[in-house]
Amino acid sequence: MNKEYLKKAQPVVYQMLSNALKNQRVANAYLFHGPKGSSKLETAILFAQSIICEHTDNDGFACQECESCKRIENEESLDYMIVSNDRIKKKDIVDLQTFFESTSAGKQNARIYILDHYDKATPDASNSLLKFLEEPSEGIYGILIADEKSNVLPTIQSRCQAIHFKPESCEHLLLENTSEENAKMLAESGYTYDKAIELLSLPDFEELKQIALEYIEHASSFSQIEKMQTNVFVNKSDRMNKDWVQLWIQWVLFYVKNDRVNLPLEKKVKLYSILVENMDMLYRPVDLGLFMDKLYYDIRKAVI
């Protein structure tokens, strides 16, 4: 994460974390919460690096260059664990405890875990975590991340220091790196600055966007659907993964929203709601092949 960016985008968060680091008053558990698109995860990783790094800057933040920082970035550190499942379960928390127990022998240094999407954790996971939080082991620090603070159990909340992230739009900053259209779509879709930069660097990014535009201009044609099935999202191919499917739906949504398709309002509204509903479904376990086939036909029905 770009520290200068964090300082500008989330000055209050930056100051609070800087004070904790500089004064060695890091709490045992944090709850980073705030809307989608705010750099909660990126900040959590930087904070984890900062607790361990021995070459911190004047504000107490990690150098991001030393071996310890790199190991955290690459998830190779034995002092660090991140769980980023869509839905954290009891087993994830048990695994986390086991991981720290097995790596703790003789360790003096700090160890940190991050639980992403914690607002979607199961109640069983929260009960296990609660026990972990109630008896904090020295030197173990946790960072829970949630879009919706109210979806985190109050008993968990009360054991964490809450850090609120304000809404963030990276559109303006992205303009330094890409076209107006790309910046607008990525910011409106709720990507953080770091994630947007990562997506922009993928070799197929521009191609996928072209594919989405061509598709939506001919969404009623069976040959267009066939083309998608045989050339774009081919079963078991590399592109048939949730990230690409999500990005493709986001481009289609963007073109519908920005009137790049010539449709009566009523059909446009229908199409819009189909796309939004399907985007939500992607958070659940789905067979992507069947999911896409149904989506093409639902879209076709909405536009004919």
Q: Which residues bind Zn ion (CB under 5 A)?
A: 53, 55, 62-63, 66, 69
Kindly state the smallest distance separating residue 55's Cβ from Zn ion, in Å. 5
Angle between helical axes of 265-281 and 288-303 (0-180°, round to 10): 170
Judged by beta carbon, residue 65 or residue 180, the one nearer Zn ion is 65
Give the sheet arrangement for strand 111-115, strand by strand. 80-83, 111-115, 140-146, 29-33, 161-164
Judged by beta carbon, residue 75 or residue 206, the one nearer Zn ion is 75
Kindly state the smallest distance separating residue 292's Cβ from Zn ion, in Å. 43
For residue 195, CA distances in Å to 22, 62, 93, 200 come to 28, 20, 26, 9
Judged by beta carbon, residue 48 or residue 212, the one nearer Zn ion is 48
Judged by beta carbon, residue 1 or residue 31, the one nearer Zn ion is 1
Assess contact for 69 and 54: CB atoms under 8 A: no
Q: 31 in helix, strand or coil? A: strand
Kindly state the smallest distance separating residue 1's Cβ from Zn ion, in Å. 13
* 107 contacts: CB under 8 Å, gap ≥ 6: 79, 139
Give dist(CA 123, CA 88) in Å, integer. 10
Kindly state the smallest distance separating residue 48's Cβ from Zn ion, in Å. 11
Assess contact for 38 and 167: CB atoms under 8 A: yes
Judged by beta carbon, residue 26 or residue 282, the one nearer Zn ion is 26
Give dist(CA 166, CA 11) in Å, integer. 10
Kindly state the smallest distance separating residue 18's Cβ from Zn ion, in Å. 16
Kindly state the smallest distance separating residue 54's Cβ from Zn ion, in Å. 7
Judged by beta carbon, residue 51 or residue 245, the one nearer Zn ion is 51
Q: Are strands 111-115 and 80-83 parallel, antiparallel or unpaired?
A: parallel
Q: Nearest to Zn ion by Cβ — which residue?
A: 53
29 DSSP 8-state letter: E
Judged by beta carbon, residue 73 or residue 168, the one nearer Zn ion is 73
Give dist(CA 42, CA 40) in Å, integer. 6
Kindly state the smallest distance separating residue 247's Cβ from Zn ion, in Å. 32
Q: 17 in helix, strand or coil? A: helix
